[in-house]
Structure 1
Amino acid sequence: MKSPAISSKGLSLKNIKNSKAFQKATDMGPFSIMVHKEVADHIRSWRFMILIGLVVLTFFASMYVSLSNIKNAVNNINDPDRFFLYLKLLTTTDNTLPPFHVFLNFLGPLLGISLGFDAINAEQNGGTLTRLMAQPVYRDNLLLSKFVSALIVVSVLFLSLALLMMGGGLIITGVRMEPQEFLRILAFVFISVVYVAFWLSLSILLSVIFKQAATSALTAIGIWLFFTVFYQIVVNIIIRAFFPDTDFLTQAQIQAYNELVLTFYRLSPGQLYSDATTTLLMPSVRSLGPLTMEQLIGAIPSPLSFTQSLLIVWPQVSGLTAATVVCFALSYYLFMRREIRS
C-alpha cells in the first residue's frame, strides 16, 4: 500500500515542478525567450567564435605593444595626455601595430555583418519562419530579438575586454585609475557598440530585402569596402573637379574647402567612429575641424574634461545612432509588410 502512495506523491511533485517551469517560461514572455535563444545560437556558432578570436587576438597584441612602449609615452613631457595611463594603453603604439580602436574600426563592421546578414532570410529559407509566425508571436518581437540579442553579445564582449584591460593595467603598473579615465573608457565601449549596431541593423535590413543569405552578406561587405577603401577617393575626385587648383585661394576659402571635405568624409560611419574614439581617448584633442591662426593664438595645450570632449563628439554619436535607427526602421517597415508563405 505504500508504493502507490509514494509513486503518486512523486508524480505530483514532478507535475508541480513542470507546472512551475512552464509558468516561469510563460512569465518571461515570447520576446525574452527568443532573445535567450538567439544569444545561445550566437555563442555556439563557429563564425562568432572565429570573429571573437580575431578581436581578442588583436586586443592582446595591441595591449602588448602599448605596455612595451608605455614608459616612453608617460615620460614624454611634450605630450599633454601623458598623465592618462589607462588611456595610453588604448592609444600608444610603436607603429608596428595600430591601436586597438583602429583595429575595431576595421573589425567592428565585420562583427556586425556576421551577426545579422542571415537573420531573416535564413529563417525563411529553412522553413522555420512560417512555423514561428504560426505561434502567438508578433513580427516586431522577432525582428527586435535578433537585434537585441546580437547587441547583448557585442556589449558583453567589449565590456569584458575593457575590464580586462583595466585589471591588467592595475596589476602590471599598480597605478590607480582616475574617474575621468573610467568614464572615457566606458564611453569608448558605448560608441563601439553603437558603431557595431549600425552595421548590424544594415545587415538585418539586407537580410529582409534579399532572399539569399549569400547575397545579403556580399552586399553588406561591398558597402563596408566602399566606405573603407573607395569613399575618400571618390570624394577627393569630386571635390577636385569643382576646385581644380587650391593654390590661389585665400585663407578663408581654404578653411571652407577643408570643412567641405571633412563634411563629406563624415558621411562615412568609419570616419564618425574614428573622430569620436580619438577625441575620447585623447583628451588633448580640442577640435575635429580646421582651426584658424586666431583660434590657435593663446591656446594652452592642456587636456579637456570629459564633458567637454563629450560635447565635441556628440554630433558623431548622434549621426551613428540616427543611421542605426533609420536602417532598423526600414527593416521593420519592410518585414511588417512582407507576405510570409510556407
Structure 2
Amino acid sequence: MKSQAGLFSADSKSISSPFLVMMRKEVADQLHSLRFIILAALILFTFFGSMYVSMANISKAIANSRDPDRLFLYLKLLTTTDGSLPPFHIFVGFLGPLLGISLGFDAINSEQSNGTLIRLMAQPVYRDSLINAKFVASLIVISTLFLSLNLLMIGGGLMITGVRIEPSEFIRILCFVVLSIIYVSFWLNLSILLSVKFRQTATSALTAIAIWLFFTIFYQILVNIIIKAVLPDPNMLSQEQLISYNGIVMTFLRFVPSQLYTDATTTLLMPSVRSLGPLTMEQMAGAIPSPLSLRESLLVVWPQVSGLIAATVVCFAVSYYIFMRREIRT
C-alpha cells in the first residue's frame, strides 16, 4: 500500500476533512488493486453465465402454469436455472466472502508493516478516521459493484424481452442488493478485525479463509454428526417429532452467515416462499399457492437480516475498540 503520510499537507481542505481524503484514496487503491480486479472479473463472469442460462430457460419458466412466481420476469432472471450453473445469488453466497476478505485482510496490518501507520498517526488525524475510512471505502466499492450488476441485469432484460419491470420487482431486487452488501460487509468487517488483531497480513488472510471454509463446509458436517449422535433416528419419529427435529437442525445451521443469506435471498427473490421452516399439514391446510406481498416477505426474512446486521456491527465494533486502544509503535 502506498504511503498515506503525505496526504495531509498545508492544504486547508485536506486538513479539515482527513476522513474524506483517506476514503477517496482507499477507494482508488481498492479499484486499482489486482486482487479486486480478479475477484470482480470472476463475479462478473459468473453473473453473465447465470444470466445466459436464465435467458435461455426463461420462456419455459414463465410458461409453467404451476409456478406461482411465473409472472415475476426479472426475479426469474435471478433464480431460473437448468442445472448447468447455479443462480446468481448462490454464486454471491459463495464468492461474496472472498470479496470481503480480500478487501479487508490487510487494512491495518499492512500499514503497520510498511511503516506508514505511525507516520499517518503523526498527522492531525483522528485515529478512528482511519479505520472508518477503510471500512466506508470498501463498502462503497462493494455497493457499486452489486448495484451495477443488478441494474445491468434489469437493463439487459428490458432490452431483450421488452417487458416493463413492476415496482414490486424493482424493490425486491434493491432489497437483494442491500442484503448482498450486508452479507459481504460482515466478511469485510471480520477480515478488518483480524487485520487489527494480527500483525502479519498472511496470518489474518489465512485465519479469515479458515473461518470461511469452516462455516461453508465443515460446520454443516459437524452439526449433522452431533445431531445424529444426540437425537433419535428421524425414521422412527412421528410427523410432529420430525418437524421438531428439522427445526432443531435448521436452528443450528442458521448460526452460519451463508445460511442466513441464502434463506433471506430465497424468500425475497421467490415471492411464493411462505416460510423458512417446516410446516405441519394443519398449517398448510387451506393455504392458497400465491405470491406473498413485499411487506410479508420482509417480515419472513427480518430475523435473518437482523442477524446479519448484528454480526456485522459486532465485528466492526470489536475491531474499532481494539484499534482505538492499541499502542502504535515504530
Bin for the TM-score computed over the shorter chain: over 0.9
Q: Secondary structure, in 3 states, of the residue corresponding to 1:77?
A: coil
User: Which amino acid in structure 2 is aligned with residue 247 of structure 1?
Assistant: N
2:91 matched residue in structure 1: 103
Match of 2:270 in 1: 282
Q: Alpha-carbon deviation of 1:23?
A: 4.3
1:22 aligns with 2:11: yes
Q: Deviations over 1:180-207 (max 9, x none)?
A: 0000000000000000000000000000
Is contact 2:111–2:117 with CA below 8 Å preserved after alignment?
yes
Matches within 5 A, 1:187-202: 187-202=175-190
Identify the match of residue 45 of structure 1 among 33, 55, 67.
33
Aligned to 1:250: 238
- Residue of structure 2 in register with 1:15 after alignment: none
CA drift of 1:120 comes to 0.5
- Runs of 4+ with deviation above 4 angstroms: none
Q: Which has more radius of gyration?
A: 1
Distance of 1:149 and 1:89 partners within structure 2: 30
Q: Distance in 1 between matches of 2:321 and 2:238?
A: 49
Q: Which amino acid aligns with 1:333?
A: Y
> Percent sequence identity over matched residues?
70
Task: Output aligned runs, 1:121-270, within 5 Å.
Answer: 121-270=109-258
Q: What secondary structure is seen at the aligned counterpart in 2 of 1:101?
A: helix
Q: Distance in 1 between matches of 2:165 and 2:216?
A: 34
Q: CA RMSD in A?
A: 1.0
Give 1:26 deviation, angstroms.
4.3
Inter-partner Cα distance in structure 1 for 2:199 and 2:259: 31
2:77 aligned residue: 89
> 1:310 maps to what in 2?
298
Instruction: Give, in angstroms, the shift of residue 137 of structure 1.
Output: 1.0
AA in 1 matched with 2:11: F
The residue number in structure 1 matching 2:103 is 115
Structure 2 CA distance, aligned partners of 1:310 and 1:41?
36
Which residue is equivalent to 2:7? none
Distance 1:201 1:125 in 2: 20
Aligned equivalent of 2:24, options 36, 61, 67: 36
Amino acid at match of 2:272: S
C-alpha distance in 2 between matches for 1:169 and 1:51: 25
Distance 2:234 2:53 in 1: 40
In 1, Cα distance between the equivalents of 2:127 and 2:307?
A: 27
From 277, 293, 299, the equivalent of 2:281 is 293
Instruction: Measure, in 2, the Cα distance between the counterparts of 1:246 and 1:91.
Output: 31
Distance 2:234 2:158 in 1: 50
Q: Where in structure 2 are there 5+ consecutive unaligned residues?
A: 1-9
Q: Single out whichever of 248-257 and 133-142 deviates more from structure 2.
A: 248-257
Distance 1:172 1:119 in 2: 42
* 1:298 partner SS: coil
One of 35, 42, 45 as aligned partner of 1:54: 42
Write the distance in 2 (CA, Å) between the matches of 1:46 and 1:102.
24
Unmatched tracts of structure 1, length 5 or more: 1-20
How many Å separate the matches in 1 of 2:50 and 2:112?
A: 41
Cα distance in structure 2, aligned partners of 1:198 and 1:146: 14
SS of the residue aligned with 1:247? helix
Contact 2:109 2:198 in 1 (8 A): yes
TM-score (norm 1): 0.92
Aligned to 2:259: 271
- Deviation track 1:40-63 (CA, whole Å, cap 9, x = no partner) reads 000010110001000111000100
